[in-house]
Every structure is written in structure tokens, then in C-alpha cells.
Amino acid sequence: MENNAMKQVHLQRSNNNYPLLFDYQSTTPCSQEVLEAMAPYWNELWANASSRQSRFGLMASAAVTLAREQIASLLNVVPERLIFTSGATEANNLALLGHARAMAADKGSPGHIITLATEHHAVLDPLRQLIREGFRLTELYPGPDGLLSKDQLVEAFEEDTFLASFMFANNEIGVIQPLAELVEACKEKEVLVHSDAAQAFGHIPIEVDKLGLDFISISSHKLYGPKGIGSLVMRSELPILPLHWGGGQEQNLRPGTIPVPLIIGFAKAAELAFRDLNIHQEKLGLLRDQLLIDLRQKIPDIIVNGSMENRLPHNLNITILGVSGSRLFRELRPFISCSSGSACSAGKPSHVLLALGRTVKEADSSIRLSLGRDTSIEDIKKATSVIDNVVSRLRGD
Ligand SMILES: Cc1ncc(COP(=O)(O)O)c(C=O)c1O
């Protein structure tokens, strides 16, 4: 049943197409094909995939096996390397806490870990938990373009560095880290590398083994799949301890009843995203570039946050000087659905923008505009006009 708030939003959108949707990096809707692929597994085929004695259980298990194979083949890895989780947050926690604790148990003492100050909290918070458990953590500040250089990384290694975590693509500023060279530097020191690829998987090519990544975290709801499902993809036989104990599912690393419909939806969403990846990349890149050109024409002093060259095609993050952040968002809200950064940052100034050297005021008056499959050139034109009007009003032009 639709509640009143939902009805209001639908009514507004059907009347005048507002608010324009520019928040596809926080999540995406489930595509129709994904919903159809999942449908039978909510009712007719509702069996537990671990009930191997039952015919329906075997059917559910076979469907999960196929889905695992489909996602694995998109990443060019064997299916056994996938551990299904509730999303990228859990995959990050499992990789970071699970591997670090296993290493400490093996070596008898905790060691040193390296990461980026611009990581998502789903990486920073588990790593900060590891500090409380005796590990040492270095959070490196990238350059003003949001990218970490190999030289900066090399300086940070310590005698007992055993793990590094660098996100594939940033959720706020969209920058794509130069992982090939960062991983190369880590391999020279026998340091394992985890990458949070929640924003990259299904949007840009990911070559896990060619890059030499040991662990990557992926999520379904960023690519038009269901919420509540993701995966840790890890190299075989790396030391890792589970975070939970129970029924032994997912190679004893993620016990609990397997969410069959979500896994089927995840595989379908991934298949579709990879099938049309180049088309979407090209279209969204052109629209995003047009948005920036149009915005710059109207508001010449906007600052773009992060590198434009190494960036997801559907992301733009800009700082608008001289306007109050809270008023900017209040005025934009009826017309544009966008965000100030991570959907999870709960109103605090963006730690990503602060790490890039922006002041609190600048970070507050920054907006992330993220485009999706349905974004049209009309949306770009309307968004430019709305932002221009609001900014002019707030600046008293
Ligand atoms: C970079 C990054 N990591 C992790 C997450 C969390 O993913 P999930 O919602 O699948 O737990 C997100 C989503 O907001 C993200 O953008």
C-alpha cells in the first residue's frame, strides 16, 4: 500500500517530472527484468537452498549455483571465490576484520594497515575498529584530484604492513583510483589488497586478477538489482575468519539461510549491466559532460571536486561558492533529488571533500549529481536551469 508521502511524490513526478532524479549513486531502482527473474523465487520456488533432501531445495540450490557462476564469469573468476553477503558493507567488514584477525591469530600480534582517508565509512569504520583491537592504521590523503600516487603509498609501508584497502571508485566524487600501480607497489612488499568496488561493479570494467586484487566487495543495489545482497570476491585460500557462526553456508564464512531471490536478482542485474556497460558508459559520460558545460556557462565559478579524467561517467560533484549549504539543499529539494555526498554521512560535512582540502563551508555547499539509465538531455537542461535559479536567488544576483 502506498502511503501519502509516496503518493505525493508520484503525483508530483507525473505532473511536472519533478523532482529530477540525480541520486543514482546512493541507490538504483530494481529493473523490470530483475523483478521478473526474482518473482518465482518468492513463492512457487520458495524452498531453502540448503534443503538438499527436497526436490525444491535442490532446484533453489541449482539456481543459486547458476547465479554464482554468472556473476563469477563477469569477473573472470571461479565461482568458489564468491561469498554472498548482505551488501558491500558486510563484504568490507568480512574482508578487513576477517583477514586482519586471521593474520593476527597466525602471527601472534596485530600489524599495520594502509587505507585512504576518502574511503566510504563501510571501510573506514571496520578499520578503526581494528585500531581498538591493537592494529595500526595509516589513512593516506590523496592529492587535490582525489587520487593516490604510488610514491605516497611507498612512503607509508612499515615493516609489518600486511593489508591495504583502496576503493575502486569513490562514491562521492567518482574518482577511479590508479589501482594497477598501487597494487604493484603492494605486491612488491607482499601486502594484500582489498578494494571496495561497490560503485564500480557493473559501471566500469573490473579486471580482478589482472589488477592482482586479493579481495573486492560488490553490491547489487548500485546496478539496478535488489537491496540487501552483495558479495566478497576473494582469492582462494587466503587467511580469513568469519564474523558470524552458524549453519556453515558460504564456505563457513557467511552462515545463514541463503537469500535465493536476492541472489537471482543480483545475477540478473549484473548480467544486464555488463551487457550494456559500454552503451551506458558512453551515454552517461556525454550527458554528464554536457551538464558540466551547461552549469559552467550559468555559474562560471563552480569548482569541480576530483579528477575529471579518472572518473565514473555518471558522477559530477561540484562546490558552489558563496551559498549556504543548508539553504541550497532546502531550495533544491522540491526540484532535484541529489545529495551532498554519501547517503550514509548523516548530515556531517563530507570527510571526502575535507580530505581534498575543501573548507567545512565549501564542503557544505557541494552537491553530488549522479546520473542513471533514465537520465535524458531534458533532465540535464532542467537541472541546470533549476540550479542556476536557486543559486542566483541565494546569492542575491
Ligand atoms: C563505496 C561504497 N561502499 C559501500 C557501500 C555500502 O554498500 P551496501 O549498501 O551494499 O552495504 C556503498 C553504498 O552506499 C558505497 O558507495
Q: Which residues, including other chains, have CB under 8 Å from residue 108's CB and lie 6 or more apart?
A: none
Distance 86 CA to ligand 1 centre (A): 11
Probe residue for ligand 1, chosen from 23, 26, 27, 89 as the CB with the greatest number of ligand atoms within 8 Å: 89
- pTM: predicted TM-score of the whole model, two decimal places: 0.95
The ranges assigned to domains in the chain are 4-22+276-395, 33-275
The verdict on whether 344 is a catalytic residue reads yes
Residues (pLDDT < 50) of the chain are 1-2, 11-12, 14, 344
- Is the CATH number of domain 33-275 3.40.640.10? yes
Residue of the CA atom closest to atom 2 of ligand 1: 198
What does the pLDDT read at residue 12? 47
For Cα atoms 127, 195, 164, give the angle at the middle one, nearest 5 degrees: 50
Distance 233 CA to ligand 1 centre (A): 15
What does the pLDDT read at residue 1? 41
φ and ψ at residue 27, rounded to 5 degrees: -170, 175
- Is the CATH number of domain 4-22+276-395 3.10.450.50? no
Residue of the CA atom closest to atom 14 of ligand 1: 26
What does the pLDDT read at residue 108? 95
Inter-residue contact 212 to 190 (CB < 8 Å): no
What does the pLDDT read at residue 201? 98
What does the pLDDT read at residue 388? 97
- In the block, cell 541529489 appears at 338
Distance 44 CA to ligand 1 centre (A): 31
What does the pLDDT read at residue 213? 98
What does the pLDDT read at residue 17? 75
Inter-residue contact 118 to 355 (CB < 8 Å): yes
Distance 322 CA to ligand 1 centre (A): 31
d(CA 161, CA 185): 12
User: What's the helix, strand, coil split of the chain in %, to 5?
Assistant: 45, 15, 40
Model confidence pLDDT, tens digit, residues 252-293:
999 999 999 999 999 999 999 999 999 999 999 999 999 999
What does the pLDDT read at residue 285? 98
Name residues contacting ligand 1 (CB within 6 A): 87-89, 120, 122, 167, 171, 196, 198-199, 219, 230, 343-344
